[in-house]
Amino acid sequence: MKLKGAEILINCLAEQGVDTVFGYPGGAVLDIYDALYRDGRIDHVLTAHEQGAAHAADGYARVTGKTGVCFATSGPGATNLVTGIATAYMDSVPLVAVTGNVGINFLGRDSFQEIDICGITIPITKHNFIVKNVEELADTVRKAFYIAGSGRKGPVLIDILKNVQVAECEYEPKTPVPYTPAPVPAEKLKDIAAAIDACKKPLIIAGGGVIASDSAGLLSEFAKKLDSPVVYTLMGKGCIAESDPLCLGMIGMHGTIAAAKALLAADTLIVFGSRFSDRVALDRDRFAEGKTVIQIDIDNAELDKNVKTDLRLMADIKETLKSLIPLVAEGQRKDWLVKVEGFKKENAAKKDDSTRAYSIIKAASELAPEGSVLVTDVGQHQMWAAQHYETNEPRKFCSSGGLGTMGYGVGAAIGAYFGSKKLPVLVTGDGCIGMNMNEIMTAVSRNVPMVILLMDNRVLGMVRQWQKIFYEKRFSATVLNRKVDYVKLAESMGGVGMCLAEEDDPREVIKKAFSEAQAKKLPVLVDCKIPPDDNVLPMIKPGHTYDRQLEKMEDN
């Protein structure tokens, strides 16, 4: 059948199983939006800003495992997607961003709202396309989805010229080509299994690749067979139930005491889907000193990039675990587990539960409706949430890890809701909310029930904490002299606002917030007053080793 380019795009999206698109229309995508309207199969969520659309597509992708989709017009519409695309790129999130551009006769003439969005996004996409011929459009869309969702997942951009959207050509529906991972090299697996069998004190480090490959169940099975404790990176949160006796919590700069102790004591590190970022391998040269390091990752570029390994394997983690579990011997490491249990007891005894944020997040974790998704912005509140909000299954946690994007939260929470149909719990700060509060309007207009826990300490908390430690308490530009009434702000946008004063019982207020959000199908913002000098602890200073973990703040 003969269709216009805009119609072909919508049909190809439907082919790929797309049910929701996040975006903002404009002149260069009017034909796409018209085709979307006339087709009627795909729900479009109109955000308040294109960056919010990109973050929503990202949140949708993280909770579903499907490829998220966002639309934007040319020029500033396209450039407003850039931060969201970069966020997805750094965290290996599958996303397809569709932008419009001027017609081919106006290309390269500095036409109104013309921008070379492909040139801009080359460093932050797996691939990008500019479609100048309608005959190429369908196959380009299909390629984009395959690239986004295969191997190490990530964002792909398709820039469609205006003339392509209105031109006609024959369209033939096609079934999406499934991604089949390459076979796992058997000889390498045997070497890895032999090294694992020979070790006495293994430690599994699980990163975001475990979530991306849907390998959480296999990871747990593998850990149990080995008698091996598991620590996870920020992006790996949810890959093992935090209630699991083998789980030691998060590793890294603000990881648990138990995770740090286990790292120091282990003789072998088995690393799945983690790139050893500077927030995990703080001192790359000494991070794994004296240990055997085994790294499995889908991306060859990540092997040996940050930490030198003894055995490495480029392979899909799910396929690797399927093959590796039968090869390794049943663990006989009871002495190691007894030692690790001691680390957990020490962790429980020293857990920093004195901060107001701890009591708030703990209450939210215990009171949240079943299936709720935890979403965070970036800063102290992000680390408090990662430390204290219990996550017992994969794809229930959305946070910007690699790029550290302030302003990620509300958009991502909206996307998480449309992907899961479960209430999102957003933990944010008064610095971050200033960058993304406009998307509360989107949540209201689409009746998204969410609870926003705004950690209101009147400062840029994480930056201030670093100033306290490294800059002799010179608090330059980190005090927020804002006079915003956040309760009224939420109400002015059509949502519900509540205040949680420092003397209030968090459980009572948060329980009411969940009840209101569900009953009214609206976002409920809780303005949580917390002291400006509460800190995220434990902490390891950049470039230091895990034996230098701070359990209390040092005065400089």
| Beta strand pairing call for 168-170 and 2-4 | antiparallel
Active-site residue, selected from the candidate residues 113, 225, 242, 350: 113
Q: Tell me, yes or no, if 50 is annotated catalytic.
A: yes
| Residues 201, 268 contacting (CB under 8 angstroms) | yes
Active-site residue, selected from the candidate residues 7, 50, 302, 516: 50
The CATH architecture that domain 2-170 belongs to is 3-Layer(aba) Sandwich (3.40)
The predicted pLDDT at position 217 comes to 98
Q: Is residue 12 pLDDT above 60, yes or no?
A: yes
Q: Kindly report, as residue ranges, where domains of CATH 3.40.50.1220 are found in the chain.
A: 186-350
Q: Is residue 171 pLDDT above 70, yes or no?
A: yes
Q: Residue 207 in 3-state DSSP?
A: coil
Q: Is residue 380 pLDDT above 50, yes or no?
A: yes
Question: 80, 57, 235, 11: which is closest to 156 by C-alpha?
Answer: 57
Please write the tens of the pLDDT for every residue from 487-542.
999 999 999 999 999 999 999 999 999 999 999 999 999 999 999 999 999 999 99
Euclidean distance between CA atoms 464 and 467, whole angstroms? 5
Q: How confident is the model at residue 137 (pLDDT cuts 50, 70, 90)?
A: very high
Question: 95, 67, 60: which is closest to 414 by C-alpha?
Answer: 60
The predicted pLDDT at position 555 comes to 46
The predicted pLDDT at position 552 comes to 76
The predicted pLDDT at position 553 comes to 65
The CATH architecture that domain 186-350 belongs to is 3-Layer(aba) Sandwich (3.40)
Q: Kindly report, as residue ranges, where domains of CATH 3.40.50.970 are found in the chain.
A: 2-170, 356-529
Tokens of 288: 């794994």
Q: First-to-last CA distance in the chain?
A: 73
The residue type of 203 is L
Q: How confident is the model at residue 554 (pLDDT cuts 50, 70, 90)?
A: low
Q: How confident is the model at residue 166 (pLDDT cuts 50, 70, 90)?
A: very high
| Beta strand pairing call for 523-529 and 450-456 | parallel
Please write the tens of the pLDDT for every residue from 442-465.
999 999 999 999 999 999 999 999
The predicted pLDDT at position 351 comes to 75
Please write the tens of the pLDDT for every residue from 405-446.
999 999 999 999 999 999 999 999 999 999 999 999 999 999
Euclidean distance between CA atoms 339 and 348, whole angstroms? 15
Q: Is residue 556 pLDDT above 60, yes or no?
A: no
Q: Tell me, yes or no, if 112 is annotated catalytic.
A: yes
Q: Residue 78 in 3-state DSSP?
A: helix
Q: In sequence order, what DSSP letters do the residues of 404-421 get, joined into one string?
A: --TT-HHHHHHHHHHHH-
Burial-class residue 498 by CB neighbours within 10 Å (0-12, 13-18, 19+): buried
Active-site residue, selected from the candidate residues 112, 168, 488, 520: 112
Residues contacting residue 317 through CB under 8 Å, at least 6 positions apart? 209, 210, 213, 215, 272, 273, 296, 297, 298
Q: Tell me, yes or no, if 113 is annotated catalytic.
A: yes
Active-site residue, selected from the candidate residues 126, 153, 162, 468: 162
Active-site residue, selected from the candidate residues 90, 455, 462, 539: 462
Task: Note the CATH number of domain 356-529.
Answer: 3.40.50.970
